[in-house]
Amino acid sequence: MKCKKLLTLITAATLCLSGCSGISRHAQANQDLSYTDMLFDTVIKIQILDSADQNILNGLKKLCQKYDTMFSTTNEDSDLYKLNHAGGAPVTVSDETADLIHEGIHYSELSNGAFDITIEPVSSLWDFKSESPEVPSSEAIAEAVSHVDYTGISLDGNTVSLADPNAGIDLGAIAKGYIADQVKTYLKSQGVRHAIINLGGNVDVIGTKLDGSKYNIGIQKPFDETGEAITSVKLKDQTVVTSGIYERYFKKDGKLYHHILDPKTGYPCDNNLYSVSIITDSSTEADALSTTCFLLGYEKGMKLINEMNGVEAIFITDDEEVHRSKGI
């Protein structure tokens, strides 16, 4: 994805913080205690609003870089790279990778395979970041689709194996949420009580703003390059994660191709949604559910959220209508 688009995401997600927050002088003086980086294929920004030790930033950097490697499918040192190139042999992975695969299987089951973490053979065919992106051949897509099946994953403690030697795991749909949760736990353990964690539009907040009011986080207007918000949500110690077709895409011969892929066809999921945002306590859950609900479509996705406790959603359909779940 182009950097401009990434920055738009960041701007949109935090738009109302500077626009409508009334942050105090004291808070603004502390705004330099932030960590910005280009990780997880996106721009990340973590802002600590209360007084905190500068050393926390070093800890943050180490933590984020560790996960950047751990959950990459292309870094040869990563658990996932080793697993995806093991030809079906068992591979020992870190506690965190095992945890995340376990979560991924849960959402794959919940959606009956609409969400499927073994999408890797298909997702690795598509390059949404390329300067001159191409649609993969239909033969290559059909071949890749035949290896997608989460029921072939065996997870026993930290040992993982894939029944199909050509299968592969891609945790891209949930890793950022998981990392946001880990960052939040780390910052809290360091005594931080007010912070905004923004991993490419995946926003998780600690506490409230310094004046005790909730954070007002903008939800981006689909395809708006200026980062304008279509609506916003008020958060205290919660997270909001959006999956949308405007986040990573390219156009070819007038057709838009985006990065949320239908495991049955191998092509971008085709429905009437622009985006789904999930608001809840756990960012892992929000990230998993935003992609899952997108793949389930408006009706089934909204039904799923309305049956859950403590989880809310905002669906934006392609007529730019904003649909909210029952609790918000």
Q: Is 291 among the residues that bind Mg ion (CB under 5 A)?
A: yes
CB within 8 A of 64, min separation 6: which ones?
35, 37, 39, 44, 179, 183
Q: Residue 50 has what DSSP assignment?
A: S
Q: Which of residues 193-212 bind ligand ADP (CB under 6 A)?
A: 202
Single out the residue of 291, 304, 305, 314 in contact with ligand ADP (rule: CB under 6 A). Answer: 291
Q: Which residue is nearest to ligand ADP (CB)?
A: 172
Tell me which residue has tokens 């077709």: 245
Q: Is 98 among the residues that bind Mg ion (CB under 5 A)?
A: no
Interface stretch with ligand ADP, choices 47-55, 189-197, 206-214, 290-298 (CB under 6 A): 290-298
d(CA 309, CA 20): 29
- The answer to whether 241 and 311 have CB atoms below 8 angstroms apart is no
By C-beta, is 216 or 243 nearer to Mg ion?
A: 243
Single out the residue of 101, 260, 278, 313 in contact with ligand ADP (rule: CB under 6 A). Answer: 260
- The answer to whether 32 and 214 have CB atoms below 8 angstroms apart is no
Single out the residue of 30, 67, 83, 176 in contact with ligand ADP (rule: CB under 6 A). Answer: 176
Contacted by 247, from ligand ADP, Mg ion, none: CB < 5 to 8 Å by type: ligand ADP
By C-beta, is 243 or 275 nearer to Mg ion?
A: 243
Interface stretch with ligand ADP, choices 10-18, 31-39, 171-179, 214-222 (CB under 6 A): 171-179
Interface stretch with Mg ion, choices 111-119, 125-133, 213-221, 236-244 (CB under 5 A): 236-244
d(CA 60, CA 310): 28
Q: Is 286 among the residues that bind ligand ADP (CB under 6 A)?
A: no
* Per-residue CA distances from 264 to 114, 129, 135, 190, 296 (Å): 8, 23, 17, 45, 13
**Edge-first strand listing for the sheet containing 312-317:** 34-39, 42-48, 195-199, 202-206, 239-244, 273-280, 312-317, 322-324
